[in-house]
Amino acid sequence: MFRQLAFKFPIALSLLLTLMMAPMTDTHAETPVDLENTLYLDLKDGRVTIALRPDLAPNHVARIKELVREGFYDGIVFHRVIGGFMAQTGDPTGTGSHGSGQKIDAEFSDEPHVRGTLSMARSSDVNSADSQFFIVYARAKHLDNKYTVWGEVTDGMRAVAKIKRGEAGSGRVIDPDKIIRMQVAADAKD
């Protein structure tokens, strides 16, 4: 029996050394970031990275990128923020009643509204989304299949969580926080 073990030991040792000397490869390598479909949202408490979802809402993603490249969102406030629910922005007047002036037809999907989801705000008309959007703080099942999901926060949710909250009930914010700058990552200077 000892002879059998003595014979197998060098083979096992050789195999182990071969594995240890082989170049290390990461079989779970991260997918490269698609800079054309990534947004940087700069807030007072840091940068938020957003992965756009053209697979879910191609028209909304195209319009959001167009507005971002125009600088539309820079300086716009979070006019409605409800703790445990969402933070809404995208109205240049800060009232929640206006937008860019270009409505987008709904692109509903089965994508759930979970922490970090970006979705379009709208009126009772399902095809009334414009430039206003919200970031979800927690699972909001009641929004599923009723609002267009177009992105997700991949980094920086802590900064989103620090956006100043609004009044109980309405979520209207007095002296609201604002978007410092929003950029398509492919265009970003810093």
Question: What is the pLDDT at residue 29?
Answer: 52
Asked if residue 41 is part of any domain, the answer here is yes
Number of structural domains in the chain: 1
Asked if residue 2 is part of any domain, the answer here is no
Question: What is the pLDDT at residue 66?
Answer: 98
Asked if residue 17 is part of any domain, the answer here is no
Asked if residue 23 is part of any domain, the answer here is no
Asked if residue 28 is part of any domain, the answer here is no
Question: What is the pLDDT at residue 120?
Answer: 98
Asked if residue 138 is part of any domain, the answer here is yes
Question: What is the pLDDT at residue 25?
Answer: 43
Asked if residue 16 is part of any domain, the answer here is no
Query: What CATH number corresponds to the domain at position 52?
Result: 2.40.100.10
Asked if residue 52 is part of any domain, the answer here is yes
Question: What is the pLDDT at residue 97?
Answer: 93
Q: How many whole angstroms separate alpha carbon 59 and alpha carbon 107?
A: 8
Quote the pTM value: 0.83
Which domain range does residue 89 map to?
A: 35-187
b/e code 104-130 from CB counts within 10 Å (16+ = b): bebbebebebeebbbbbbbeeeeebbb
pLDDT averages per 10-residue partition of the chain, 190 residues: 53 49 47 91 98 98 98 98 97 94 97 98 96 98 98 98 94 97 94
Non-local CB neighbours of 174 within 8 Å, separated by 6+ positions: 166, 167
